[in-house]
Amino acid sequence: MIDIGIIIVNYRSWSKLESCLISLYEQKEKAKKVIVVDNLSDDGILESFVKKFKWVHWIKNDSNAGFASACNLGANAASTQWLLFLNPDTRLPKNCLTTLIPYCNQYPDYHLITIKQLNESGKNTHPYGIFPNIWNSLGLLRSLGRLIFQPDQTKKAMVSKPITFPQWISGSFVLLRQEHFNLLDGWDERFWMYCEDIDLSKRAAEKNLNRVLLNEWECIHSHGVSSRKNKKIKILTKAEVIKSTHIYIEKHFAGKTKKLAHQWLRVHKFIELSLLGIIDPSKREILKILIPFWHQLFSMQV
């Protein structure tokens, strides 16, 4: 048995969660504890999963307080040397933990660890990125900036070696020791969904904790199962990406840079959503959610 607690946050991702749990059960060496925090799925399915997967420690959240909050709740129930935060739409190969954890035990300077993630078609999903700055909320500018100023952080560079060091790693697979999780004070619960993984990595960087990508290990990750269940949820989560980016800016930027970053994000997202909203009603719905949020945010800054 491996001294690791695996924390999975679920919201109505039952079919993918079932596959994930089966992959954990089929590991050559079992995790000491597997914890699933259900974020108030409230669809009558949880009870059947509790009966089917009796070896799982189930936590029924009384509200959907978000990913970060549920991760912290699960971590509090772990009491293991290692913690692995894992999305329900992932599947681990049978020898993953058996080889990964002993390897990581040899390297105390590997702090926040992730592995290669492939989609169902076998394509690398690149679960990492560079920290946000004042301009790179635009995908094109982010790619150009990385290519020109941070060539070691390009996707090509990240897959060129067995071990690379991204600035931030995705919350879909985050492996770290309990002591470092405690040092970071866990996940920041101000982030309901999105950017909480970037924030965790940013705080790790500030404490000189390395973020590591191990390309010789891999798992399957089917993106967006919870966030794309229906049109309404998709609209809410798309709006949440922008809200969370503002929260990140508010937390990690300072002075005039902070104000300019907020303004730039609002301006280009307003233009983008307004133009796309002419042909796509969902973009108009996202904008309806963001306008009162922006009004409140900028009223506080006056």
Query: pLDDT, tens digit, for every residue of 86-110?
Result: 999 999 999 999 999 999 999 999 9
Neighbouring CB atoms inside 10 A of 155's CB total 13
Per-residue pLDDT band for 41 (boundaries 50, 70, 90) equals: very high
DSSP letters, 2-60, are EEEEEEEEESS-HHHHHHHHHHHHTSSS-EEEEEEEE----SS-HHHHHHH-TTSEEEE
In the structure, what pLDDT confidence band is assigned to residue 141 with cuts at 50, 70 and 90? low
pLDDT exceeds cutoff 80 at 245: yes
Query: Is the pLDDT confidence value at 65 over 90?
Result: no
Look up residue 216 and give its DSSP letter.
E
Query: Which whole number is the average pLDDT over 63-72?
Result: 94
Please check whether residue 249 is in contact with residue 265, taking contact to mean a CB–CB distance below 8 angstroms: yes
Residue 193, pLDDT score? 87
Please report the pLDDT score of residue 301 as a whole number.
67
| Percentage of the chain exceeding pLDDT 70 | 95
User: Could you tell me the pTM of the whole model?
Assistant: 0.92
DSSP tally for the chain: helices H, then strands E: 11, 11
Nearest to 273 by CA among 248, 249, 239: 239
**CB under 8 Å to 152, separation ≥6 — which residues?**
none
Residue 228 has pLDDT above 70, yes or no: no
> What pLDDT shows up at residue 231?
83
Predicted pLDDT at 146: 73
- pLDDT tops 60 at residue 302: no
Match 């076998």 to its residue by tokens: 122
pLDDT at 152: 85
Read off the pLDDT of each residue in 34-44 and give the average, rounded to a whole number: 95
| Averaged pLDDT, 180-202 | 96
- Answer whether residue 297 shows pLDDT above 80: yes
233 pLDDT tier (thresholds 50, 70, 90): confident
Mean pLDDT of 16-42: 96
Distances from the Cα of 100 to the Cα of 29, 79, 114, 296, 299, angstroms = 11, 20, 10, 46, 49
Give the residue-averaged pLDDT of 174-203. Answer: 96
Return d(Cα 272, Cα 270) in angstroms, integer.
6
Question: Higher confidence at residue 65 or residue 125?
Answer: 125
Q: Both tokens of residue 83?
A: 């913690």
